[in-house]
Amino acid sequence: MGSFRLGSVLGFEIRIDYSWFIIFLLIFWTFSFASFPFNFPGFSTGVYVAMGLASTILFFVSLLAHELAHSVVARARGIPIEGITLFIFGGVSRTRGESKTPGDEFWIAIVGPITSLVIGVIFWLVGAFGLRGGWGIPFSGSALYLGILNVALAVFNLVPGFPLDGGRVLRSIIWKVTGNMTRATYYSSQVGKVIGYLLIAFGIFEAFTISVIGGIWIAVIGWFLRNAAAASYRQHLLQGILENVAAEEAMTRNPTTVGPHLTLSELMDEHFLRERFEAYPVVEDDHPIGLVTLDQVRAIPSEEWPARQVSDVMATAPNGLTVRPDEPMTDVLEKMESSGVDRVLVTRDDHLEGIITLGDLTVWLRRAQELQPQRTSRRGRRKLGPDMGDEGRERETRL
């Protein structure tokens, strides 16, 4: 759905996915017009709305603290963190890699529920002392409710289904016992899918017997968990494959190039309207200097195209657009995501050798799996994909 930048905390970028507003409004409505009026009767609608708004904001602050705890520990253990995104199902820390050891995985995972539990106890103590000290039901009741919710959040995250925190703890234990991260990921993700199906079944049962809205929400969470578990395992396999693939293996060689002084009208007439490509490397004196895309041209009013040149709109090569032919595809993917154009130029000694797009990567993966899914890469390293045993290799070929 897209997201926007909210700010940064402790050096971590905080982003809000637009889907987050759905869960924010849902929780706010539940607090203001259901939970608080039922548990603390006798107050006006305005009081309940104020309690609901404050509690909803504090709940998401607590959720952000949970994700910050993950990010701080991950950064301390050498795993790069791009930032944190809040979305409809909570929050997620955006990492650029996986844990290197079972110990790293365990501590990064467990610190989140511990943080939520500590926050929950603090809120509960504030609410309990508030009731005894006469601080008022709206304040004390809200604190008690937030305490219970944070404890519930900690308990839910400890459910041993990947990719929940509890599932990651389970993966770290299996990884430690077996010495095989992929096998551990497979079994923990299978548990995650089973738990997802159980939540779906329970949600359907609740929808027909107790609460329609509550049941639907539980079923949706179960559906999300089931899909997230399956996707996480596929992503892990994909990363295992790509870390052994060099950029030159997936690139399109000798791509069509354009000059920086070509006008946008000429670029459109001579290239974009005649050829199937949506981006062209920009080369000057046999040296790549940037990349121009169809979207960049579309962003300029058409009446300005005759007077504007490619150099006016292109993304310049120094801005994360170039990779070496021997760079692993995992690093290439990171640069593709950060480039803003989903493409990178492959260069050697400041000379263009090729271009890599997401389409190139998709084609390479399909051909590698159809023809020789377990072939040794050109880099002379181990077979594509981690050692998973016969069962795991069979799943990898279907990825």
- Ordered domains of the chain (ranges, CATH): 3-242 (no CATH), 247-367 (3.10.580.10)
pLDDT digits (tens, 9 = 90+) for 192-242: 999 999 999 999 999 899 888 788 888 988 998 899 898 888 878 777 777
What is d(CA 128, CA 34) in angstroms, rounded to the nearest whole number?
22
**Pairing verdict, β 12-17 and 81-87:** parallel
Burial code (b: 16+ CB inside 10 Å, e: under 16) for 123-142 equals bbebbeebbeeeeebbebbb
Whether 33 and 42 have beta carbons less than 8 Å apart is answered as no
Q: How is 232-245 classified by DSSP, letter by letter?
A: HHHHHHHHHHHTT-
The answer to whether residue 67 is catalytic is: yes
Catalytic residue among 13, 67, 243, 396: 67
What does the alpha-carbon distance between residue 355 and residue 251 come to, in Å, rounded to a whole number? 5
Using CA atoms, how far residue 283 sits from 256, 272, 286, 327, in Å, is: 10, 17, 6, 22
The pLDDT score that the predictor gives to residue 100 is 86
pTM of the predicted model as reported, rounded to 2 decimal places: 0.71
Question: Which 8-state DSSP code applies to residue 18?
Answer: T
- Top pLDDT among 335 and 280 is at 280
Instruction: Please list, in sequence order, all residues whose beta carbon lies within 8 angstroms of the beta carbon of residue 55, skipping any fewer than 6 positions away.
Output: 31, 36, 142, 145, 146
Q: What is the pLDDT of residue 340?
A: 67
| 351 Cβ contact list (under 8 Å, min separation 6) | 286, 287, 288
Residue 117 has pLDDT above 50, yes or no: yes
Listing DSSP states for 355-398 in one string gives EEEHHHHHHHHHHHHHH-TTPBPTT--SBSS---HHHHHHHHHT
DSSP 8-state symbol, 251: P
Most confident of 92-96, 106-110, 226-230, 251-255: 106-110
Q: Which long-range contacts link 362-368 to residues 24+ away (Cβ below 8 Å)? A: 364/245, 364/249, 364/250, 365/238, 365/241, 365/399, 368/241
CB atoms inside a 10 Å sphere around CB 195: 21
pLDDT (0 to 100) of residue 231: 87
- DSSP letters along 30-87, please? HIIIIIHHHHS-S--HHHHHHHHHHHHHHHHHHHHHHHHHHHHHHHHTT--EEEEEEE
Residue 4, strand partner residues = 16
What pLDDT sits at residue 339? 65
Least confident of 7-11, 47-51, 83-87, 89-93: 89-93
Grade residue 1 by pLDDT with cuts at 50, 70 and 90.
low
- Over residues 262-305, the pLDDT tens digits come to 999 999 999 998 888 888 999 988 889 988 999 889 999 999 99
Tell me the DSSP string of 300-349. S-GGGGGG-BHHHHPEETTTTTEE-TTSBHHHHHHHHHHHSSSEEEEEET
Taking alpha carbons only, the member of 54, 375, 399, 37 closest to residue 239 is: 399
Q: 41-66: per-residue pLDDT in tens?
A: 999 999 999 999 999 999 999 999 99
Cα–Cα nearest to 168, from 144, 196, 191 = 191
Q: pLDDT grade, residue 378 (50/70/90)?
A: very low
10 Å CB burial of residue 399 (0-12, 13-18, 19+) is middle
pLDDT at residue 320 in the model: 67
Whole-angstrom Cα distance, residue 332 to residue 315?
Answer: 17
Q: Average pLDDT over the chain, rounded to whole?
A: 84
